[in-house]
Amino acid sequence: MTELRIAIVGFGKIARDQHVGAIAAVPGATLAAVASRNASLPELPHFATIEELLEQGPPIDAVSLCTPPQVRRAQAAAALAAGKHVMLEKPPGAGVAELDPLIAMAAGAKRTLFATWHSRYAPAVEPARQWLAERRISSVHISWNEDVRVWHPGQGWIFEPGGLGVFDPGINALSILTRILPKPVFVTAAELGFPANRQAPIAANLTLTDISGLPVTAEFDFRQTGPQSWDILVETDQGRLTLSNGGARMAIDGKVLAEAPDEEYRGLYRRFVELAATGASDVDLTPLRLVADAFLLGKRTIVEPFVD
Amino acid sequence: MTELRIAIVGFGKIARDQHVGAIAAVPGATLAAVASRNASLPELPHFATIEELLEQGPPIDAVSLCTPPQVRRAQAAAALAAGKHVMLEKPPGAGVAELDPLIAMAAGAKRTLFATWHSRYAPAVEPARQWLAERRISSVHISWNEDVRVWHPGQGWIFEPGGLGVFDPGINALSILTRILPKPVFVTAAELGFPANRQAPIAANLTLTDISGLPVTAEFDFRQTGPQSWDILVETDQGRLTLSNGGARMAIDGKVLAEAPDEEYRGLYRRFVELAATGASDVDLTPLRLVADAFLLGKRTIVEPFVD
């Protein structure tokens, strides 16, 4: 098998914490370069921008874009134009419609565009989907509350326009929800709490449903201190499914049926290598569309300023 | 030809000003009933709700939903479940994703779901599309400024969550833009002015582009007094196209090449009759997706309270 030579573009926390190790662990994937204004890795070719990488860098087959969502579209377009496969961190863009031309470019060039949803690769997500497929679901509740200071230190972009605020983690929950439920859901109401000094919400409550009227509620809060929660509770005719720790553990009525260590990003890179072998794309915009709808029809409230 | 027996649901200003006359003028369409909590027409069966209409009303083939967007999805689902064709006023919903199950229902029941964009039926839109198809476009600017007090009297829903605010008229401009340009556009930046006492913007500035980097700007303002403007200016290598009066008139470098009286809603009902003959659907969500993206990635500013 030919190695997929990958350059990471945007070398912040997620690149360091997850991407480097996952690429090293996945057969067929090799980290070949880094493009980042502020950071580099010893013994790897380094470039300040993606333009310099593409013009002056070593031969690469693919880029993995770990930059903030606001700048990713232009970078993806440049990489596709240069004939590279492209992997996008979540969310895939600052808006939904900007993905359409990228999808068309990738198809035209027979290159892979992979919009990743790492939480879908959490170990208990597929067991949960299968268990729910045979049950009658009566309600769903999501609690996705984390401390932004712990998980997003120095990431000012997250509260800028297009940065999603608390939906940056919340969209992970929505990516799981839209994978495990048998029918498509849509947002019917939302409350968004914007800090007085910020452009993206720090907390949100959503009400969703499907064509059958399934009640789905979600609470996202970035101000959580103490224990963090990344849980989805699903009530069914045959018991309560609890998907906890961001999809790492599934329990039915308290009994743990699936639990495994986190290998989400390895799963992503295995899939990227597989897609790139044929130049196929995988772009599911469903979670981002739900967030856009929440902004579109949400009630805004102003909450106390957030100081980092 | 069998007559398409239509009930209007939601009998406010747009139903009275446009729908009644258009149905009367279009061969093959007949107004058979009205469902509205507050209003009726002499000599027509009247019902307070769509549920009463569907249960107790005269035989009808179709409903035309002129209610506010926040309640339209449930009404459309009820009508499709009862085997009726459905025409949706614009915008087609309070969110984008809520349309998906309706599209699936309509396809499954072989009934028409028609998401209307009346401005696309303005007389100079098609001439403009054809003229632009053969030119090289260098920039686009939209000015869509109207007095909300004149055009939306008593429509409190327009500033409620899901009511779109100034995007209620602005989406008409976007529906024209996405019809006349040869390539898809997407929003890259937006500024949204929310009145301190309202939940939807009263003014907005958008920046859009396409895969080629075409500069497109749009200004929407609901606070316009004096002359109103519903204009799209397109600069090309062969002159400036001006589409004015909401698409009613096209001029090239000041010379009027197309102008005709407004028959937008007749065009819509002609199309509805045509679609319903085979149960085909016509749902283009592009304009609403652009608005959702503007909310998603827009910068919010608080402006002075709006008092009706």
pLDDT digits over A4-38, tens only?
A: 999 999 999 999 999 999 999 999 999 999 999 98
Dihedral over Cα of A259, A260, A264, A268: its sign? negative
Preferred mutation among A181, A296, A300, A302 to probe B, highest tally of B CBs within 10 A = A296
Sheet with B216-221: list strands edge to edge: B255-259, B249-252, B239-244, B229-236, B137-145, B216-221, B203-209, B186-195, B299-303
- Domain identity same for B134 and B186: yes
Domain boundary among A95, A115, A135: A115
What are the chain B neighbours of A94 within 8 Å (beta carbons)?
188, 296-297
The Cα A7–Cα B99 span in angstroms is 39
* pLDDT band at residue B2 under the 50/70/90 scheme: confident
* B285 occurs within a structural domain: no
A146 near A223, Cβ under 8 Å? no
Residues contacting residue A84 through CB under 8 Å, at least 6 positions apart = A54, A60, A61, A62, A63, A111
The residue among B115, B148, B175 that closes a domain is B115
- Helix/strand/coil percent split, chain A, to 5: 35, 30, 35
Residue bearing tokens 């863009």 = A93
Task: Supply the pLDDT for residue A40.
Answer: 84
A29-49 confidence digits (pLDDT tens): 999 999 999 888 998 999 999
Q: Sorting pLDDT into bands at 50, 70 and 90, what band is B38?
A: confident
| Predicted structure pTM score | 0.96
Reported as a single tens digit per residue, the pLDDT across B199-257 is: 999 999 999 999 999 999 999 999 999 999 999 999 999 999 999 999 999 999 999 99
CA distance B155 to B304: 19
Q: Do the chains contact at A95 and B186, CB–CB below 8 Å?
A: yes
Tokens found for residue A42:
């010893």
Strand pairing category for A216-221 and A229-236: unpaired
Nearest chain A alpha carbon to B162: A297
- Structural domain harbouring A229: 119-263+292-303
Residue at B257 is within a domain: yes
CB < 8 Å to A285, chain B: none
B41 vs A8 pLDDT, higher one: A8
Task: Collect all residues of chain B within an 8 Å Cβ-Cβ radius of residue A289.
Answer: 96-97, 292
Mutate to test the interface with A, among B103, B159, B296 (most CBs of A within 10 A): B296
Q: Compute the Cα dihedral for A180, A218, B161, A305 and give only its sign.
A: negative
Q: Which residues contact B278 (CB under 8 A, 6 or more apart)?
A: none
Tokens 């006023």 belong to which residue?
Answer: B89
Nearest to A180 by CA among A126, A247, A248, A118: A126
Asked, for residue B308, whether it belongs to a domain, the answer is no
Considering the domain boundaries, does residue A103 fall inside one?
yes
Does pLDDT of B86 surpass 90? yes
Distance from CA of B199 to the nearest CA of A (A): 6
C-beta atoms of B293 and A292 within 8 A:
yes
Q: State residue B308's pLDDT score.
A: 83
- The answer to whether residue B231 sits within a structural domain is yes
Residues A138 and A243 in one domain: yes
Q: Are residues A128 and A170 in the same domain?
A: yes
The count of other CB atoms within 10 Å of the CB of residue A51 is: 14
**CB-count exposure of residue B159 (10 Å: 0-12, 13-18, 19+):** buried
Closest-CA residue of B relative to A99 is B186
Backbone φ and ψ of A82, nearest 5° = -90, 5
- A159 and A46, same structural domain? no
Pick from B162, B190, B293: CB nearest A97: B293
| Cα–Cα distance measured from residue A212 to residue A139, given in angstroms and rounded to the nearest whole number | 11
A90, A110, A183, A299: the catalytic one is A90
Contact B272, B87 (CB under 8 A): yes
| H or E element in which residue A139 lies | strand A137-145
Q: Return d(Cα A261, Cα B162) in angstroms, integer.
A: 41
Taking a C-beta distance cutoff of 8 angstroms, is the pair B69, B88 a contact?
Answer: no
Q: Is the pLDDT of residue A150 over 80?
A: yes
Answer whether B97 sits within 8 Å of A293, measured CB to CB: yes
The whole-angstrom separation of Cα A284 and Cα A288 is 9
B271, part of any domain: no
Report CA-CA distances (Å) from A161 to A156, A157, A290, B299.
Answer: 11, 8, 17, 5
Give the one of B101, B211, B297 whose C-beta lies nearest to A162's C-beta: B297
Gap between the Cα atoms of A305 and A159, Å rounded: 11
Share of chain A above pLDDT 90, in %: 95
User: What number of residues does chain B have?
Assistant: 308
> ipTM for the complex?
0.95
Q: Are residues A84 and A161 in the same domain?
A: no
Which residues are CB-contacts of A55 (< 8 A; sequence separation ≥ 6)?
none
What residues pair up with A142 in beta bridges, in sequence order? A218, A232
Please give the span between the terminal C-alpha atoms of chain A, in angstroms, as a whole number. 47
Q: What's phi and psi for A288, nearest 5 deg?
A: -70, -35
Task: Based on the fold, state whether residues A158 and A296 are members of the same structural domain.
Answer: yes
Judging contacts by C-beta atoms under 8 Å, the chain B residues touching residue A297 are: 70, 94-95, 161-162
Tell me, what's the pLDDT at B1? 59
Among B36, B10, B8, CA closest to B21: B8
Specify if B197 maps to a domain.
yes
Collect all residues of chain A within an 8 Å Cβ-Cβ radius of residue B286: 97
In A, minimum Cα distance to B158 occurs at: A297
Average confidence (pLDDT) over A249-257: 97
* Average pLDDT over chain B, rounded to an integer: 96
Regarding whether A197 and A77 lie in a shared domain, the answer is no
Q: Which helix or strand (DSSP H or E) is residue B266 part of?
A: helix B264-278
Do B38 and B178 belong together in one domain? Answer: no
CATH classification at residue A52:
3.40.50.720
Q: Do B300 and A101 touch (CB under 8 A)?
A: no
- What is the number of domains present in chain A? 2
Q: Are residues B253 and B191 in the same domain?
A: yes
Among A100, A286, A291, select the one facing B296 at the smallest CB separation: A291
Place of tokens 């075409």: B214
Tell me the H-state helices in chain A: 13-14, 20-25, 50-56, 69-81, 99-109, 125-133, 148-151, 167-180, 264-278, 286-297
Kindly state whether residues A222 and A137 are assigned to the same domain: yes
Question: What kind and span of H or E run contains B78?
Answer: helix B69-81
Chain B partners within 8 Å of A205 (Cβ): none
Task: Tell whether A97 and A156 lie within a shared domain.
Answer: no
- B192 CB neighbours in chain A (<8 A) are none
Cα dihedral A251, A252, A255, A256, rounded to 10, equals -30
The pLDDT tens digits for A183-234 are: 999 999 999 999 999 999 999 999 999 999 999 999 999 999 999 999 999 9
User: pLDDT per residue over B99-117, tens digit each?
Assistant: 999 999 999 999 999 999 9
Residue B47's pLDDT is: 97
Q: Which of A186, A191, A208, A209 is the best mutation test for B, with the most CBs of B within 10 A?
A: A186
Q: Quick check: A94 and B290 CB within 8 A?
A: no
Q: What tens digit of pLDDT does each residue of B125-163 get?
A: 999 999 999 999 999 999 999 999 999 988 889 999 999
For B91-97, what is the mean pLDDT? 96
Which region, left, alpha or beta, applies to residue B214 given φ > 0 means left and ψ of -120 to 50 means alpha?
A: beta
Distance CA B46, CA B175 (A): 33
Instruction: For chain B, list residues whose CB is within 8 angstroms of any CB belonging to chain A.
Output: 70, 77, 94-98, 100-101, 104-105, 161-162, 183-190, 194, 199, 210-211, 286, 289-293, 295-300
* Chain A / chain B CB contacts < 8 angstroms: 109
Looking at CA atoms only, how far is residue B26 from chain A in angstroms? 34
Q: Are residues B77 and B149 in the same domain?
A: no
Whole-number Å distance between alpha carbons of A220 and A151: 14
Higher pLDDT, A262 or B294: B294
Say yes or no to pLDDT of A1 above 80.
no
**What pLDDT is stored for residue A249 in this prediction?**
97
Task: Please check the confidence at residue B191 and state whether its pLDDT lies above 80.
Answer: yes
Is the Cβ pair A100, B184 closer than 8 Å? yes
| Phi, psi (degrees; rounded to nearest 5) at A301 | -125, 150
Q: What is the CATH number of the domain that holds B140?
A: 3.30.360.10
Three-state DSSP class for residue B270: helix
Question: What is the DSSP secondary-structure string of B101-162?
Answer: HHHHHHHHHT--EEE--GGGGSTTHHHHHHHHHTS-EEEEEEEEE-BHHHHSTT-GGGGSTT
Q: Is A271 among the domain residues?
A: no
Rounded-to-integer distance, Cα A57 and Cα B302, Å: 46
Nearest CA in chain B to A98: B186
Residue ending a domain, choose from B98, B115, B132: B115
Helix (H/G/I), strand (E/B), else coil: A293: helix
